[in-house]
C-alpha cells in the first residue's frame, strides 16, 4: 500500500481505508474457518510450498491491518515504507499459488483430473484478480478513494476459496451449488458497496471489481469443462 496524498480524507474512518479493519477481520475469520480442515488442522502434513503460501497470505493480511492504522495515526513515512514490501509480497503470493496449482495437478489421478482442473481454473483466475486489484491500487496510490477500495478488494479474492471449502466440509450435500453460494455472497457484498458509494468517486473501484469477478464466474461455467482446458491442465501438471 503506497502513499496516499489526501491525508485529511484518508484519516476519516469508513467501511474501507482507515476503517477497513472490520472487513479484514471478517475475511480472516472466514479464511481460518474455511482452511481449518485442509490446512490448519493438518498443519504438520502440509508441504513447504503450502506453508510458504499461507505465510505470505498472513503477511498480506497483516499489511491490510497495519496500513490503515498507520494512516489514521499519521505515520505516513512508515506507511510508505511498509507499502514498498507489497511489491515483493504480492508477486510472491501469486507465484506460490501458481506453483501449488502445478503441484496439485501433478498429483492428480485420472479419476480426480476433472475436479483438479476445475480447482486449477479457480486458483489461476483468483490469482489474476488479486494481481489486477493490487496493480490498480498501486496505479491509483495518489487517489485515496480508489487506492483504499482496490486494496480492500484484494482480500475479496479469498471469499470464494474459503467459503467454498467451509461449505464443502460442513454441508457436502450442496455439491455443485457451492460456487453459486460463495460467488453469490461476493456479488451481494459488492452490490451493497456499489450502492453505498452511489454518486461518489470511489464507486468505480467496486464496479471494476464486480466486473472482474463476473468474468471469472462466467468463464467458470464453460472453460474448466472444455477439452482445451483439460489439455492445458494435463500439460500444466506434466501429465501429458
- pLDDT of 73 reads 80
What pLDDT was estimated at residue 11? 46
Q: What's the whole-model pTM score?
A: 0.86
Q: Where are the domains of the chain?
A: 7-236
| 125 to 71, 72, 102, 199: CA distances (angstroms) | 31, 33, 14, 30
Q: How far apart are CA 92 and CA 97, in angstroms?
A: 8
- Residue 189: name the closest of 23, 77, 7, 50 by CA: 23
pLDDT string in tens for the chain (240-residue length): 444 444 444 444 455 554 567 777 888 888 888 887 777 777 777 789 889 999 999 899 888 888 888 877 888 888 888 888 999 999 999 999 999 999 999 888 888 888 899 999 999 999 999 999 999 999 998 898 899 889 888 989 999 999 999 999 899 888 889 999 999 999 999 999 999 898 888 899 999 999 999 999 999 999 998 999 999 999 998 865
- Exposure string for 82-94, b = 16+ CB within 10 A, e = fewer: bbeebeebbeebb
| Per-residue confidence (pLDDT) for residue 19, from 0 to 100 | 52
**Phi, psi of 201, deg, nearest 5:** -60, -40
Amino acid at each position: 500500500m503506497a502513499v496516499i496524498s489526501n491525508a485529511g480524507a484518508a484519516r476519516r474512518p469508513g467501511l474501507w481505508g482507515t476503517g477497513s479493519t472490520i472487513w479484514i477481520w471478517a475475511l480472516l475469520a472466514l479464511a481460518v474457518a474455511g482452511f481449518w480442515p485442509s490446512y490448519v488442522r493438518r498443519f504438520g502434513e502440509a508441504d513447504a510450498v503450502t506453508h510458504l503460501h499461507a505465510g505470505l497470505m498472513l503477511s498480506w493480511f497483516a499489511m491490510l491491518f497495519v496500513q490503515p492504522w498507520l494512516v489514521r495515526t499519521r505515520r505516513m513515512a512508515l506507511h510508505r515504507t511498509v507499502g514498498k514490501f507489497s511489491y515483493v509480497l504480492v508477486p510472491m503470493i501469486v507465484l506460490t499459488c501458481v506453483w501449488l496449482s502445478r503441484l496439485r495437478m501433478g498429483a492428480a489421478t485420472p479419476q480426480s483430473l476433472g475436479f483438479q482442473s476445475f480447482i486449477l481454473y479457480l486458483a489461476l483466475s483468483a490469482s489474476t484478480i488479486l494481481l489486477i486489484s493490487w496493480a490498480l491500487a498501486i496505479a491509483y496510490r495518489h487517489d485515496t478513494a480508489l487506492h483504499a477500495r482496490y486494496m480492500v478488494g484484494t482480500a475479496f479474492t479469498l471469499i470464494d476459496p474459503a467459503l467454498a471449502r467451509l461449505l464443502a466440509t460442513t454441508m457436502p450435500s450442496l455439491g455443485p451449488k457451492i460456487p453459486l453460494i460463495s460467488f453469490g455472497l461476493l456479488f451481494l457484498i459488492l452490490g451493497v458497496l456499489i450502492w453505498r458509494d452511489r454518486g461518489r468517486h470511489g464507486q468505480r473501484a467496486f464496479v471494476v471489481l464486480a466486473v472482474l469477478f463476473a468474468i471469472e464466474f462466467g468463464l467458470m461455467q464453460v472453460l474448466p469443462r472444455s477439452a482445451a482446458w483439460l489439455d492445458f491442465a494435463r500439460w500444466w501438471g506434466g501429465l501429458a
